[in-house]
Amino acid sequence: DEAGEELLRAVIRYHANQHRVVGFLDRDARRLGTRIGGIPVVGTYDQACATAKRLGVEQILLAGGALTGKEVRRLMEEARRAAIEVKVLPSYEQLLAGRLAVQPRPIAIEDLLRRDPVTLELDNIHHWLEGRTLLVTGSAGSIGSEIARQLLRFSPKCLVLLDRSETGQFFLERELREIQRRLLAGNRTAPHLAVVLADVLDGPRMQHIFREFRPDVVFHAAAYKHVPLMEFHPGEAVKNIVLATRQVADLTARFRADSFVMISTDKAVNPSSVMGACKRLAEMYVQSMTEVSTCRWVTVRFGNVLDSAGSVVQIFRQQIAEGGPVTVTDPRMERFFMTIPEAAGLVIQAGVIGESGQIMVLDMGDPVRIVDLATDMIRLSGLEVGRDIEIRITGLRPGEKLFEELQATDERTIPTRHKKIRVALGSRVERVRLIRAMEELQKLADEDPEAVINQLKQIVPGYGGIPNLTTESSRRAA
């Protein structure tokens, strides 16, 4: 087929001296004996290693995204027993986009956790975003930058990228300018790019930016994310997560944007940490905006993303490179994971289908035990646990949970038209009381950390066991 032929051409073009392609593998056994670019289909995926041994093959090249994580894991284990090397090529889509060099790479942890490809409503997203001005806050972060990359394909008029990280913005602009250049070279529409250095807490600066660009759609991804650190700096968490969200939301309403999409986290559910409580409070404020603005207010809640800056994957990778030990807080600890591109794509999709005031919950799949993640990463490095490198249990850190949840005890979820997105139905937020409580919290933000935490306990349902600011009798899309 077309994808197979493109991959074959790429391997021959760049690696003719290192690789002699003897056959293709396919899911469909009915294709056995057919040819792709003159090369026969010699087996199916589930018989990959047996077919390779029969043909005397030393290496299996796997097209990126062709198999689910479970299938990759099974192939990896079989190949290790059979002493066959498995490497991964770019996907067909990546080859066409020219985003990656055609260089076979070792299996990565992302491959083992890969799920079925996410299908997006591309026509509906295009209709929503084409010709419009889009603002992304936190654009230098892992999620914000990937949202920015994906937004380019939907032909906006202007893409405004806002972050306070000078270095992050510098490298993001270089990357997006190159994508912009390729779009223009292919006679496709390329948006105006505005890379803006600003702190979302700087009121006058943010007003100037909204006045200058007047965004139609705002993606709010700016926020702190490290749970243990925020336990010791609750005032900063309040400012960066809660007050910044309030400021961006208020400006969105004031300048009459059409849609506001906020990035949230599973740590906002029954929060046990300052960071989670602040994120839940930000969710509540965004929901309350439906009472005062006709803008469409949507929150998107999901779990961990793989290989984001400072993530557990990066920490494990560094610890393995240093010879260990690899540190895990508790052998029972589990987390939900998805890839950064998958999360960003579903955020945009949720922005299309979400109704005002809704919290959209992404399907995170099955939780992953962190100790299993560590074991996989050690093995992928060619090492064995115990023999070459130690896994050390260190104990839970401040604010951490053993297990994350995607809906609170006072919530239930219902499906949407997209199978990977559900809506959390919860209790109604009382805006007047919420604003009063947030004003008091703002006064305390630079004061005693304990006072900040006590105020958060008074405001945020489930944090400290004092759910005060919701009305159980009024159920709505929350």
108 falls in which pLDDT band (50, 70, 90)?
Answer: confident
Residue ranges, CATH 3.40.50.720, the chain: 2-107, 122-426
Catalytic residue, candidates 225, 267, 401, 420: 267
Q: What is the pLDDT of residues 414-465, one digit of tens each?
A: 999 999 999 998 888 889 999 999 999 999 998 889 999 999 999 998 887 4
> Cβ contacts of residue 333 below 8 Å, gap of 6+?
369, 370, 371, 396, 400, 402, 403
Question: Does residue 466 carry a pLDDT above 60?
Answer: no
**Mean pLDDT score across all residues of the chain:** 87
- Looking at residues 152-170, what average pLDDT do you find? 96
pLDDT for the residue 124: 97
| DSSP-assigned states of every residue in 316-380 | HHHHHHTT-PEEES-TT-EE-EE-HHHHHHHHHHHHHHPPTTEEEEE---S-EEHHHHHHHHHHH
One-letter identity of residue 27: R
pLDDT for the residue 2: 58
List 389's β-bridge partners, or say none.
Answer: 385
Question: Does residue 476 carry a pLDDT above 80?
Answer: no
User: What does residue 157 show for φ and ψ, rounded to 5 degrees?
Assistant: -75, -40
CATH number of the 122-426 domain:
3.40.50.720
pLDDT for the residue 95: 61
383 falls in which pLDDT band (50, 70, 90)?
Answer: confident
Question: Does residue 272 carry a pLDDT above 70?
Answer: yes
pLDDT for the residue 465: 41
pLDDT-above-70 percentage for the chain: 90
pLDDT-above-90 percentage for the chain: 52
| DSSP-assigned states of every residue in 207-261 | HHHHHHH--SEEEE------HHHHHT-HHHHIIIIIIHHHHHHHHHHHTT-SEEE
pLDDT for the residue 34: 85
Question: Does residue 6 carry a pLDDT above 60?
Answer: yes
> Cβ contacts of residue 277 below 8 Å, gap of 6+?
268, 271, 456, 457, 460, 463
pLDDT for the residue 41: 87
Question: Does residue 7 carry a pLDDT above 90?
Answer: no
Classify 157 as helix, strand or coil.
coil
Which residue has tokens 């593998």? Answer: 25
Q: Is 401 a catalytic residue?
A: no
pLDDT for the residue 4: 66
pLDDT for the residue 87: 86
Q: Kindly tell me the burial class for residue 122, based on how many C-beta atoms sit within 10 Å of its own C-beta (0-12, 13-18, 19 or more).
A: exposed
pLDDT for the residue 43: 87
Minimum mean pLDDT among 187-196, 350-359, 465-474: which range?
Answer: 465-474
339 falls in which pLDDT band (50, 70, 90)?
Answer: confident
217 falls in which pLDDT band (50, 70, 90)?
Answer: very high
pLDDT for the residue 336: 82
Q: What is the pLDDT of residues 80-98, one digit of tens each?
A: 888 998 888 777 556 655 5
pLDDT for the residue 474: 32
Q: Which of 353, 371, 334, 330 is nearest to 416 (CA)?
A: 353
CA pair distance 56, 411, nearest whole angstrom: 56
367 falls in which pLDDT band (50, 70, 90)?
Answer: confident
Minimum mean pLDDT among 306-320, 402-416, 463-477: which range?
Answer: 463-477
Minimum mean pLDDT among 46-60, 293-307, 340-354, 392-406: which range?
Answer: 392-406
Q: Which residue has the higher pLDDT, 103 or 24?
A: 24
Q: Which fold has domain 2-107?
A: Rossmann fold (3.40.50)
Question: Does residue 60 carry a pLDDT above 70?
Answer: yes
